[in-house]
A and B are shown apart, each in its own frame.
Chain A
Amino acid sequence: MNKIFFILIQLVFFIAVAPLLSGLISKIKNSLRMRKGQSILQPYYNLAKLFSKGEVVSATASWVFRITPFIVIASTLCAASLIPVFIFPASLNYLGDFLALIFILALGRFFLALAGLDTGSSFGGMGSSREMFISSLVEPVLCLVIFSVSLRSGSTSLAAFSAVGAAPVTFIIAGAALFLITLAETSRIPVDNQETHLELTMVHEAMILEYSGRSLALIEMASYVKQMIFFLLIAQIVFPVSLPVSVNPLQVIFWAIWFLARLAIVAISVAVVEVSVAKMRLFRVADFLGFAFVLGIIAGICAILGV
């Protein structure tokens, strides 16, 4: 009973904080560009607006199109509940591990790609094909990162690698690889651009172009949560910190501040990268993610060497 209560709290926390991260990133980007920019709460306003609007569904769309937003948000929230945030590590093992996380996220991505193809618009198809091209390059790297991290920490459980103390070299290099993939997965600048709807460059936006109203809100929410999952993974790998073992209020408060600070550090570095790097051609993305692959292998070598 207690565990379920904690999982529910964690899901609420994810939904509440995830849009704030996007707002924070766009705020930092705008201040780096010497612009005033939108409010940090803008993603919440967008979501509220979308939830109160009606929805238009193409006449040729099948049930796949209608069911996709629910599958996407459900799979993403399911993945979010696997990450130990509030739950004590021991209670988590029966839910699933690192590998489960990858494949649960892949389910959502699969349905999104199907939905992009479903309406028969050329943009949707193009977006789906590009998204699958990128994700086929991302997933091996993600697997490598996870293998090397779990080789070092001795378990594929997500809670285990926060117990190693200070981050060893393996974790830092794996974290760097994970950072590069995160840029691709959350459609950030060197790979994709969230701010534009230009036909030639959009990837994720093209795939969900047909959605409107509540469905769009669900999909956006899912992508915020997914972004937070990846940021949390990076934060856990690069700055591992064990969860509070006892419910001492002072300890919990300190831990919560450090938790949010780690997320903010990752968000700031993403924003700085986004401002300082130009968007790549689609076929240069293969080189970019190839480098992430090499970082993953180097992390694996470090794990074998035991450093």
Chain B
Amino acid sequence: MQVMILFAVLVLTYLMVIAKRVPALIRSFRFQSFFLFLATLLAAFKEKQVELYFVSGLIILVKVFLIPHFLDLMARKIKVDENLGLLVNSQLSLLAALLLTYSSWALSRNLGFGQGPLQLAAVSVAFSVIFIGAFLMISRIRAFTQVVGILTMENGIFLFASAVSGGMPFLVEIAVFFDVFISVIIMGVFVYRINKLFTHIDVNKLSQLKG
């Protein structure tokens, strides 16, 4: 069951890689967070920890509802509905993502997380979600996708923490959630301002600005 959820997260990350429009990207992120919620809930049920129930509640509140809703709102406001601005086309992105998954598997095996196939699977999925999130940030032009990329990385880090040590301490968790939410809002405002000033959110063109 746990492995099934993990691999569902991985599959949804791949869906983000081939997504060509912003709503599809946001929907994949929403479902990814939902599976994260399921994984945490399962862990909470298994280990009977009250804190984990709180954490899963926070996930569903912040990552499944608030952040995607806010992103949707922003996407509608600045009308980036079509065209994500791919630097690499989707077939090549898929191949790159596969390579990243393979290397994360090799990495997690060599780092010595191989106590049983379950943990190896969990750690390699977490690593590959982090790497693919970074890849999304690098290979997409629009500032919008980069926000989703960093959120994906954050999801991967969460997965990693729960795979290695059964989750971060409760206070850290809450701080991270607060951090993520605030940073999304800041980035949203930022993207909105960029769009308003320059009428585009193409980050490549920002480097040509002269003060």
Contact = CB atoms under 8 A, between A and B. Distances in A.
Interface of A: 169, 172-173, 176, 286-287, 290-291, 293-295, 297-298, 301-302, 305-307
Contact of B4 (A169, A287, A290, A293): A169
Contacts of A306: 117
B54 interface: no
B117 A294 contact: no
A291 B117 contact: no
Interface residues of B, number: 22
Contacts of A290: 18, 90-91, 94
Ordered nearest first, which 4 A-B pairs have the shortest CB separation? A307-B3, A306-B117, A305-B121, A169-B3
Nearest to B101: A301
Main secondary structure of the interface of A (DSSP, over half): helix
16 contacts: A169-B3, A169-B7, A173-B11, A176-B11, A287-B18, A290-B91, A290-B94, A291-B14, A291-B15, A294-B94, A294-B97, A294-B98, A298-B7, A298-B101, A302-B7, A307-B118
Contacts of A301: 101-102, 105, 124
Interface in B120-157: 120-121, 124
A84 to B, nearest CB: 26
Contact of A305 (B11, B18, B102, B117): B117
A84 B4 CA distance: 28
A285 B15 CA distance: 15
B10 interface: yes
Interface string B65-104: 0000000000000000000000000110010011001100
Contacts of A293: 94
B90 A287 contact: yes
A293 B102 CA distance: 15
A294 B91 contact: no
A294 B96 CA distance: 11
A30 B102 CA distance: 44
A301 B105 CA distance: 9
Nearest to A293: B94
Nearest to B102: A301
Contacts of A287: 18, 20, 90-91
A298 B10 contact: yes
Given A172-B4, A307-B3, A307-B121, A291 B10 contact: no
Contacts of A302: 3, 7, 121
Nearest to A286: B91
A275 B54 CA distance: 39
Contacts of B10: 298
Nearest to B17: A294
A286 B121 CA distance: 29
